[in-house]
Amino acid sequence: MDTGPAFLDSRDFGRIARAIRFIDANFRAQPRLAAIAASAHLSEFHFNRLFRRWAGVTPRQYLAYVTARAARAALASTPSVLEAAYCVGLSGPSRLHDLMVTLEAVTPGELKARGRGMQITYGITDTPFGRALLASTPRGLCHLAFIEPGTERACVAALAASWPQARLRRDEDAAAAVAGRVWGSSRGAACARAAPPLKLAVKGTNFQLKVWQALLELGSAGPTTYAALARAVGSPGAARAVGRAVGANPVAWLIPCHNVLRQDGALGGYHWGEDRQRAMLAWQALPWSSRGRWRERERHAAGALERLQQAT
């Protein structure tokens, strides 16, 4: 029985990310499990178990899913950024999560005070995408950043520098609880919808806040582009400025900057790394509510591959 998402340390997430990259690059050749496991530097047994714990499906099932997606996209008559994303097996129309997320800006007074009189509770915890630093104020989550091994102290220092007058209190249990709510909702939609909204309390310029709000509205439904975001905020010629605002996003995943792709559907420019972006897109695209149909998907994978080869 699937009891929830697998939260991984940075080492195990790195293994998953390498395997996702390998599958996306080689799915046309339908690699065997041994080859996929070797890309992650694990035995077949240990890799199969790790991948299934993370994704809820086996590597071969994920490969079949990528193949079928690519075949459908290649046969589509009207190209789009979403179809381009399908072609590399990255994403689909499934929602990012079922959380209700609200975005609030800090007040001018809070910004001027630089955190004076404010307590920020923070902690470092595992997530499905490696270790992350989460921080909250009484008004809501203000920071979610992925961290690499050896950078924890620097990441906490950067958080403190962004609110130099605030009191920082470390609470790993609180951070783990927030992470459980954020990523647990991806497999517990009914519970997530019944929960109160998850509030984000962030600071930024008016333009950044407009972009982040547009990301919540557009990016939460699937891949989008910098140009689409620029149009959404009423500045169709400001794609580069939008890109800078996306890069300054203080709350990864929930403000889904990982869903912003280039116009041709390619990855690039994600602040937390291309491998992590690829893994996020793959993870959120998996049809958690349709696992009973995986056997059927696998039976049709060979036919999908043949159609893909004919289309290309």
Residue with tokens 């190209």: 79
Which residues have a Cβ under 8 Å from the Cβ of 188 and sit 6 or more positions away? Answer: 4, 98
d(CA 225, CA 286): 21
Structure tokens at 98: 């079922």
Residue with tokens 């950024």: 81
- Are 269 and 242 within 8 A, CB to CB? no
d(CA 10, CA 146): 10
| Catalytic one of 87, 142, 155, 257 | 257
Instruction: Examine the residue annotation and report whether 257 is marked as an active-site residue of this protein.
Output: yes
Q: Which region holds residue 126: left if phi is over 0, alpha if psi is between -120 and 50, else beta?
A: beta
Select from 191, 200, 206 the least CA-distant residue to 253: 200
Give the burial class of 230: count Cβ atoms within 10 A of its Cβ; 0-12 exposed, 13-18 middle, 19 or more buried: buried
d(CA 85, CA 111): 39
d(CA 120, CA 123): 10
Backbone angles phi, psi at 148, to 5 degrees: -100, 160
Catalytic positions are: 257
